[in-house]
Structure 1
Amino acid sequence: MTLWERIAAILESARDATLSAVMDAIEERKRRRDAAVFSIALIALSAKMAKADGIATEDEFAAFRDFFEVPPAEEHKVRLVYDLAKADVAGYASYAKQVGRLFRGEEAVLEDVLDCLFHVAMADGVLHPGELELLHRIKDAFGISEACFRRVKAAHVGLDEDDPYAVLGVAHDMPTDELKKSYRQLAKEHHPDAMLARGVPAELVSIAEHRMAAINEAYEKVMAEREAA
């Protein structure tokens, strides 16, 4: 089955046409590494976030559609989940917690979701304070580390005002040999093959490129500072 056929199967298995029922159907399947599960979770949270921050939802839907590379013939499936999320009375927090439970223990997957949400939030080219606060709350609902959040943020807004050690998730006094090992592990985790293996749709693997660029920039900055010391 294609990604879109699996998404359709999940939608059809829901007990009724509500976002709550669709999310429950995902949890019942427990197919964490299915790209369709990742996709529906991402679509739902994108819509809930767009509704919560008060920014024009159509612009954000267009941004999601474009970076997700939705085939025209399949857009109605994405639109259905997106509209269910907008119509649902529950706030984004309850769904963020549900997604956090769905991928519990898989911080890398939740970091992938957060990265995509940053992209949607910046559909207008600006990360508004309210959007940043909302993303912080989603991070807390996911239960992921501050290092993950700062790494994703740096990928979208730059490293200029952030601590490169925090972006790498290492202590300032970490020995250089251990720092190099930690960097290599990060590079391995954010490789496109690793993302595909954990259920990220192939259409979204490109998100690894700008995140890896932020990791590389932070590492190079730390190493330059150490060499100059």
Structure 2
Amino acid sequence: MVTLVRISEFVAQAPGSILSRLVEAVRTAFAGDPKLRRRVAFSIALIALSAKMAKADGIVTQDEVSAFHDIFSVPREEMRNVSRLYNLAKQDVAGFEAYARQMSGLCGSGKADCPMLEDILDGLFHIAKADGVLHEREAAFLARVAEIFSISEVRFAQIRARHVADASNPYVVLGVGPDTSFDEIKRRYRQLVAESHPDRLIARGVPEEFLAIANTRVAALNAAYEQIEKSRSLHERV
């Protein structure tokens, strides 16, 4: 967490608005280490947007705090640096849409369905649903962030279906239609599992702690594929 210590110090000392300071910190810190810079960018984006989501919802439950720690394993002595960043973003007068627009630049301007931005949205869903309910304001917040991130409706529906029980549908989880051939479903399933491989996530800059959430993503993909496979097999025997 030394990265967050340095970012926290930069944000506290630099002039300008909180949002501009965060963005500048992401751009300039660790300029000689692209891999570390991506990790910092991911961490800053998720901390800032989770703070804005808490403000939009108006309530932060202990379950949501625990879910946050699923993603960030923070040593006790460094927790104040994470708390500082979280509280600065939460109190900033800039709205969440301004934060989301700035963070969307992590994948370059206009890039649709960016894996790193989908990872951030996945983390936000994990926190939002931790208390057992995805509240209306949280759902609206997440949908708007996805729109700003240029995440397609199909990809957003996939992410939502992995987290929200009443939205779960094996075809939606895999991003295919009920009339899709089984060979195409298998190809799509393997592609999605490959995208969630730990090596790929680490290369995108996600913290190692996030890999536990990636494992639940793969479990959801496996369950969806197995459900479709079983359904197709039964249908063929009828």
TM-score, normalised to structure 1, is 0.86
Say whether 1:26 aligns with 2:26. Answer: yes
Unaligned 5+ segments in structure 1 are none
Say whether 1:195 aligns with 2:201. Answer: yes
Correspondence for 1:166 among 159, 165, 172? 172
Contact 2:7 2:25 in 1 (8 A): yes
CA drift of 1:162 comes to 3.6
> How many residues were matched structurally?
225
Cα distance in 2, alignment partners of residues 103 and 58 from structure 1:
32
Going from structure 1 to structure 2, the CA distance change for 1:57 and 1:20 (only over 3 Å counts) comes to: farther
Correspondence for 1:130 among 137, 141, 147? 137
Counterpart amino acid of 2:205? Answer: G
Further displaced range: 169-178 or 209-218? 169-178
Contact 1:53 1:131 in 2 (8 A): yes
Q: What is the root-mean-square deviation of aligned Cα atoms in Å? A: 2.4
Unaligned 5+ segments in structure 2 are none
For 1:169-215, what per-residue CA distance to the aligned partner results, in whole angstroms no more than 9, with x for missing partners? 12333322222111111111112222111110001111111111211
Q: After superposition, where does 1:47-66 map in structure 2 within 5 Å?
A: 47-56=51-60, 60-61=64-65, 63-65=67-69
Going from structure 1 to structure 2, the CA distance change for 1:7 and 1:173 (only over 3 Å counts) comes to: same
TM-score, normalised to structure 2, is 0.83
Contact 1:151 1:214 in 2 (8 A): no
Correspondence for 1:114 among 111, 117, 121? 121
Correspondence for 2:153 among 146, 152, 155? 146
Cα distance in 2, alignment partners of residues 39 and 22 from structure 1:
11
CA drift of 1:165 comes to 1.9
Counterpart amino acid of 1:23? Answer: V
User: Tell me, what secondary structure is at the counterpart of 1:205?
Assistant: helix
CA drift of 1:28 comes to 4.8
Q: After superposition, where does 1:21-100 map in structure 2 within 5 Å?
A: 21-28=21-28, 31=34, 34-56=38-60, 60-61=64-65, 63-65=67-69, 67-100=71-104
For 1:148-180, what per-residue CA distance to the aligned partner results, in whole angstroms no more than 9, with x for missing partners? 32332233223x544322221123333222221
Q: What percentage of residue pairs aligned between the two structures are identical?
A: 48
Further displaced range: 32-41 or 44-53? 32-41
Cα distance in 2, alignment partners of residues 130 and 26 from structure 1:
28
Cα distance in 1, alignment partners of residues 91 and 73 from structure 2:
24
Cα distance in 2, alignment partners of residues 150 and 161 from structure 1:
8
Further displaced range: 65-74 or 26-35? 26-35
